[in-house]
Amino acid sequence: MRIGSIQLRNPFILAPLAGYTDLPFRLLCQEYGAGLTVSEMISCHGLTYCQPPTIQMLATTPAEQPFSVQLFGAEPGIMGDAAAILSDYHLDIIDINMGCPVRKVIKKGAGCALMRTPELAAQIIRQVVNNTDRPVTVKFRSGWNHQEISAPRFAQMAEDAGAAALTIHARTWSDGFSGQADWQIIRKVKKSVNIPVIGNGDIHSYEDGLRMMAETGCQGVMIGRAALGAPWIFQPQSASPTLATRIAALSRHLELIPQFMDSKRCLGRTKNHAGRYFKGIPGGSIIRQKIYAATSFQELRGQVSTFDI
């Protein structure tokens, strides 16, 4: 699929996951075939104030290509300024978050709250589009709740405002992350616009991704939670990973982390990632206990090298 001028080599995309989709994990997913990776959501205010933690979240490397940066905010002017600042950074696409259900974000009128203020959402998209030469995409949900399923209309608004592609998470704000995603809405969104549509929600395997494209007509699929501890999900025939596959992926992940992050400071995050490689497999809980018991990155890496294949 193509997003504006950017050609994706694979329509399977890694979803933005705050707290998880840092550069080492994104790069790992690209090595396993992900056609596009997206940063964690980045505050437009943090960017315009040049706050160091925000700037760090823009870190990428030439091997991560294509790379999308996701912005969130509720003020069109500041979102436009943030898009202009991004012109100086290596990134291929700017995504706008209009689907985050978290109360702190909603209270400020950002994230999924923008689905209830579509005129404001349109102004934000236009400002971002007018302040960048990169394609702009929008990620949103089915609607606010089951009485307000507004995604097809919202999608048309986003296309009219200049979006180059759309991602629809097939849940409402009121669903949060629970219940089953209703893929029917993806088909309706696809029918309502002429730009590429990426479907998202409850893809648990590569085959699920193919099924979503076949059932809804969407051109791409975005995988979130199921990619954690399972970067091979972006490849065909990845349904039954062996222990060796898991250890090889984690070992590569642990190789990438110190190349791009301070491994001492991100030990907690690293253990959280590492434990996920062994969820739901026989003997997995013993392996996870060893991972969580590690008191340093070196110890964790040493432990992993002793796991029996």
Ligand X SMILES: Cc1cc2nc3c(=O)[nH]c(=O)nc-3n(C[C@H](O)[C@H](O)[C@H](O)COP(=O)(O)O)c2cc1C
Question: Which residues of this protein are in contact with ligand X, per CB under 6 A?
Answer: 15-19, 40-41, 70, 97, 99-100, 139, 169, 177, 200-203, 223-226
CB nearer to ligand X: give 203 or 247. 203
Which residues does 58 contact at the CB level (< 8 Å), separation at least 6?
39, 42, 69, 86, 89, 91
Q: How many Cβ atoms from other residues are within 10 Å of residue 10's Cβ?
A: 17
**Shortest reach from residue 17's CB to ligand X, in Å:** 4
The residues assigned a catalytic role are 100
Among 297, 296, 284, 287, residue whose Cα is nearest residue 253: 297
**Shortest reach from residue 164's CB to ligand X, in Å:** 17
Unique residue bearing structure tokens 């790069």: 27
Q: How many Cβ atoms from other residues are within 10 Å of residue 7's Cβ?
A: 10
CB nearer to ligand X: give 18 or 85. 18
**Shortest reach from residue 71's CB to ligand X, in Å:** 10
d(CA 27, CA 30): 5
**Shortest reach from residue 41's CB to ligand X, in Å:** 3
Query: Residue 150 burial by CB count (10 A; 0-12/13-18/19+): exposed, middle or buried?
Result: middle
Using DSSP bridges, classify how beta strands 197-200 and 165-172 pair: parallel, antiparallel or unpaired. parallel
CB nearer to ligand X: give 180 or 285. 180
**Shortest reach from residue 149's CB to ligand X, in Å:** 17
Partners of 199 in beta bridges: 168, 221
Which residues does 75 contact at the CB level (< 8 Å), separation at least 6?
44, 124
CB nearer to ligand X: give 48 or 142. 142
CB nearer to ligand X: give 19 or 282. 19
CB nearer to ligand X: give 140 or 307. 140
Among all residues, whose Cβ is closest to ligand X? 224
42: DSSP letter: E
**Shortest reach from residue 49's CB to ligand X, in Å:** 19
Helix 297-306 with 284-293: angle, nearest 10 deg: 150
Q: What is the DSSP string of 159-214?
A: HHTT-SEEEEEEEETTTTT-S---THHHHHHHHH-SS-EEEES---SHHHHHHHHH
